[in-house]
């Protein structure tokens, strides 16, 4: 994250704040910067940004920094920040909104693998209705390849194949692909989701 | 008593052992689990991180199927599935427009009446039967109970059946069968299960903190109810130990296998040999095998 000089403007600040509040359903304006969220966040120290800082960026209209930082990608969705917030702000939900906005703005994720992981998981569910480790991991590596080429896949394959081998050895890998039979119903839900995403740009 | 059952993808694949144990342990205390038909994936953390609508809609289809069973309660052992399903049910109750929009696409409509329970709630309700049937006391077993994130923390306001910061229901159950659970500081801290593949160093660091505290307290095992946490702490433990110079390892048990063993069930039938971190040795040492 770059350290930026504050470029506060009431007009643009309001625009960002309103969008994030609408989409995340969180009242960011009630944040009084007590930093309980920061104290509990398991990944804040490793991200250079803690949840309170992220809220502040949005309040001040610092859109570039809010959409472009390590925390929104590193967040493990443990919900500690929101559970401890005295004003009931769930920063994890704000992260989810900011990630989606970053994607819509074509900003490269700080950890591309995190983006690939979650999109591959959902894609795998859209194919079968249920998630299967093998199909999911194959889709994930294809995504990594598209984004980072062979080098990205090679780094990954070493660790995932180690896990795969122990899963095989311990009979925890299953080759039978389970499917949900209500395919047309599932398809309608995914189509509806795509329509809604389309409406947001 | 018959209750509806949503196993989720994990209990039909990498944690099939948990599915087997859950059914047989509950059966032993008089609870018949009726798996809902043709369920789909709840979307887990990934749907909630990528698509607000799917995060609600995927679990909603299962809720419709569950409501149609006419049963009053559905139990979900996986913390992630439990959380997503509960959050979806609550969101739909508070948003009639979204509910009718989703119901329009479903053959079995969400009514919102079925009670969603996690496995600890169901086991606690049967605590007397468990205690009565516990022929083998788990003497010498000193677990730290690991609840993880999603049993007590939710992305929206939710009534929680245990203390959010210091849940104790797992300890209560294990004490009832003779184990000596220990107090510790990481019972609801995140193990980074969703990051272990895509942000490995971060996940290993979170797991190292958990393992170090468990060892410092003198624990001889972990006990958990979440298949994601179990797989993570179990399968990556060697890597954590190597990276952080931790010599001792700890088996990561599901609560069901320990309660099952105390009720005289066969550990091998419950597939306790399918753990990554050796889990039978401690049971042998404590003469529970």
pLDDT digits (tens, 9 = 90+) for B152-207: 999 999 999 899 999 999 999 999 999 999 999 999 999 999 999 999 999 999 99
Same domain as A127, residue A57:
no
B97 touches A at CB < 8 Å:
no
DSSP B152-193: T--SS----SS-SSS--HHHHHHHHTT------S-TTS---G
ipTM: 0.94
pLDDT digits (tens, 9 = 90+) for B110-167: 999 999 999 999 999 999 999 999 999 999 999 999 999 999 999 999 999 899 999 9
Same domain as A163, residue A133:
yes
Same domain as A121, residue A90:
no
Give me the residue from A119, A137, A193 closest to B57, CB to CB. Answer: A193
Q: What is the 3-state secondary structure (H, E, C) of chain A?
A: CCCCCCCCCHHHHHHHHHHHHHHHCCCHHHCCCCCHHHHHCCCCCCCCCCHHHHHHHHHCCCHHHHHCCHHHHHCCCCCHHHHHCCCCCCHHHHHHHHHHHHHHCCCCCCCHHHHHHHHHHHHHHHHHCCCCHHHHHHHHHHHHHHHHHHHHHHHHHHHHHHHHHHHHHCCCCCCCCCCCCCHHHHHHHHHHHHHHHHHCC
Q: Do B45 and A118 touch (CB under 8 A)?
A: yes
Same domain as A81, residue A43:
yes
Mean pLDDT of chain B: 97
Distance CA A49, CA A71 (A): 6
A38 CB neighbour count, 10 Å cutoff? 18
Give me the residue from A77, A137, A185 closest to B194, CB to CB. Answer: A77
Q: Do A96 and B53 touch (CB under 8 A)?
A: no
Same domain as A119, residue A63:
no
Token couple for A49: 């940004």
Residues A42/B160, Cβ–Cβ less than 8 Å: no
Residue in B40, B54, B64, B55 with CA at minimum distance from that of residue A181: B40
Query: Has residue A2 been placed in a domain?
Result: no
Q: Do A190 and B54 touch (CB under 8 A)?
A: yes
Q: What is the pLDDT of residue A176?
A: 80
Instruction: Identify the domain boundary among A60, A87, A104.
Output: A104
Same domain as A61, residue A145:
no
Give me the residue from A23, A113, A131 closest to B198, CB to CB. Answer: A113
User: First CA to last CA across chain B, in angstroms?
Assistant: 30
Query: Has residue A93 been placed in a domain?
Result: yes
Q: What is the pLDDT of residue A6?
A: 67
pLDDT digits (tens, 9 = 90+) for A88-112: 999 999 999 999 999 999 999 999 9
For residue A113, the chain B residues in CB contact (below 8 A) are: 197-199
pLDDT category of residue A194 using cuts at 50, 70 and 90 = very high
Lowest mean pLDDT among A156-165, B187-196, B236-245: A156-165
Q: Do B107 and A185 touch (CB under 8 A)?
A: yes
Instruction: Identify the domain boundary among A104, A135, A157.
Output: A104
A173 touches B at CB < 8 Å:
yes
Mean pLDDT of all residues in B258-287: 97
pLDDT category of residue A15 using cuts at 50, 70 and 90 = very high
pLDDT digits (tens, 9 = 90+) for A37-72: 999 999 999 999 999 999 999 999 999 999 999 999
For residue A94, the chain B residues in CB contact (below 8 A) are: none
Q: What is the pLDDT of residue B15?
A: 95
Task: Give contacts of A 122-151 with B, CB under 8 A.
Answer: 122, 125, 129-133, 137, 140
Query: Has residue A63 been placed in a domain?
Result: yes
B51 touches A at CB < 8 Å:
yes
Query: Has residue A1 been placed in a domain?
Result: no
pTM for the structure as a whole: 0.95
Query: Has residue A3 been placed in a domain?
Result: no
Same domain as A97, residue A141:
no
CATH architecture of B133-285: 3-Layer(aba) Sandwich (3.40)
Q: What is the pLDDT of residue A3?
A: 56
- Total domains in the fold of chain A: 2
Instruction: Identify the domain boundary among A55, A76, A104.
Output: A104
Give me the residue from B48, B61, B205 closest to A189, CB to CB. Answer: B61
Q: What is the pLDDT of residue A4?
A: 59
The enclosing domain of A16 has a CATH number of 1.10.1060.10
The CATH fold of domain B2-120: Glutathione S-transferase Yfyf (Class Pi); Chain A, domain 2 (1.20.1050)
pLDDT category of residue A200 using cuts at 50, 70 and 90 = low
pLDDT digits (tens, 9 = 90+) for A39-48: 999 999 999 9
B198 touches A at CB < 8 Å:
yes
Same domain as A118, residue A195:
yes
Is the pLDDT at B44 greater than 70, yes or no?
yes
Strand ranges inside chain B, DSSP E? 2-5, 32-35, 73-76, 115-118, 143-146, 221-224, 252-254
Query: Has residue A81 been placed in a domain?
Result: yes
Mean pLDDT of all residues in A134-141: 87
pLDDT digits (tens, 9 = 90+) for B59-89: 999 999 999 999 999 999 999 999 999 999 9
Same domain as A67, residue A130:
no
User: Percentage of residues in chain B with pLDDT exceeding 70?
Assistant: 100
Please give the biggest Cα pair distance in chain A: 60
Which residues form the domain of A121? Answer: 112-199
Give me the residue from A160, A181, A193 closest to B197, CB to CB. Answer: A160
Q: What is the dihedral of CA A145, A149, A154, A155, to 10 degrees?
A: -100
Q: Do A77 and B198 touch (CB under 8 A)?
A: no
Same domain as A78, residue A18:
yes
Give the start-to-end residue ranges of the domains of chain B: 2-120, 133-285
Q: What is the pLDDT of residue A5?
A: 65
Mean pLDDT of chain A: 90
Same domain as A99, residue A32:
yes
Evaluated on CA atoms B104, B107, B113, B117, the torsion sign reads negative
Mean pLDDT of all residues in B240-257: 98
């Amino acid at each position: 994250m770059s350290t930026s000089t504050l470029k506060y403007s009431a007009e643009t600040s309001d625009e960002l704040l309103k969008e994030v509040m609408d989409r995340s359903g969180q009242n960011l304006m009630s944040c009084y910067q007590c930093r309980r969220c920061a104290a509990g966040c398991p990944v804040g120290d490793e991200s250079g940004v803690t949840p309170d800082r992220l809220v502040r960026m949005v309040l001040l209209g610092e859109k570039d920094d809010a959409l472009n930082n390590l925390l929104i990608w590193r967040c493990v969705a443990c919900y500690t920040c929101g559970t401890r917030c005295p004003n009931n702000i769930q920063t994890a939900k704000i992260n989810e909104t900011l990630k989606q906005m970053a994607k819509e703005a074509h900003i490269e994720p700080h950890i591309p693998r995190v983006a690939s992981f979650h999109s591959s998981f959902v894609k795998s569910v859209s194919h079968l209705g249920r998630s299967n480790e093998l199909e999911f991991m194959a889709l994930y590596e294809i995504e990594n390849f598209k984004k980072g080429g062979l080098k990205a896949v090679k780094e990954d394959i070493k660790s995932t194949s180690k896990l795969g081998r122990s899963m095989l050895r311990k009979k925890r890998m299953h080759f039978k692909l389970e499917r949900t039979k209500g395919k047309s119903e599932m398809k309608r839900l995914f189509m509806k989701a795509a329509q809604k995403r389309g409406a947001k740009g | 008593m018959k209750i509806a059952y949503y196993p989720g993808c994990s209990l039909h694949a990498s944690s099939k052992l948990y599915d087997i144990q859950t059914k047989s342990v509950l059966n032993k205390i008089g609870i018949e689990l009726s798996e809902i038909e043709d369920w789909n994936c709840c979307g887990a953390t990934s749907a909630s991180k990528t698509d607000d609508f799917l995060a609600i809609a995927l679990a909603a289809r299962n809720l419709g199927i569950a409501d149609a069973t006419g049963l009053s309660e559905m139990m979900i052992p996986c913390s992630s599935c439990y959380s997503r399903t509960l959050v979806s049910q609550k969101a739909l109750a508070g948003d009639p427009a979204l509910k009718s929009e989703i119901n329009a696409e479903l053959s079995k409509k969400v009514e919102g009446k079925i009670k969603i329970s996690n496995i600890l709630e169901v086991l606690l309700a049967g605590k007397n039967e468990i205690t009565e049937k516990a022929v083998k006391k788990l003497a010498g077993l000193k677990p730290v109970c690991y609840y993880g994130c999603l049993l007590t923390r939710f992305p929206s306001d939710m009534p929680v059946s245990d203390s959010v910061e210091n849940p104790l229901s797992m300890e209560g159950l294990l004490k009832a069968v003779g184990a000596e659970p220990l107090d510790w500081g990481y019972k609801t801290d995140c193990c980074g299960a969703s990051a272990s593949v895509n942000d490995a160093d971060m996940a290993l660091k979170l797991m190292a903190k958990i393992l170090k505290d468990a060892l410092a307290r003198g624990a001889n095992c972990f006990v958990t109810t979440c298949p994601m946490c179990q797989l993570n702490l179990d399968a990556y433990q060697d890597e954590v130990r190597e990276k952080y110079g931790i010599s001792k390892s700890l088996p990561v048990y599901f609560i069901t296998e320990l309660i099952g063993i105390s009720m005289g069930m066969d550990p091998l039938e419950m597939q306790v040999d399918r753990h990554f971190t050796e889990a039978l040795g401690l049971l042998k040492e404590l003469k529970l095998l």
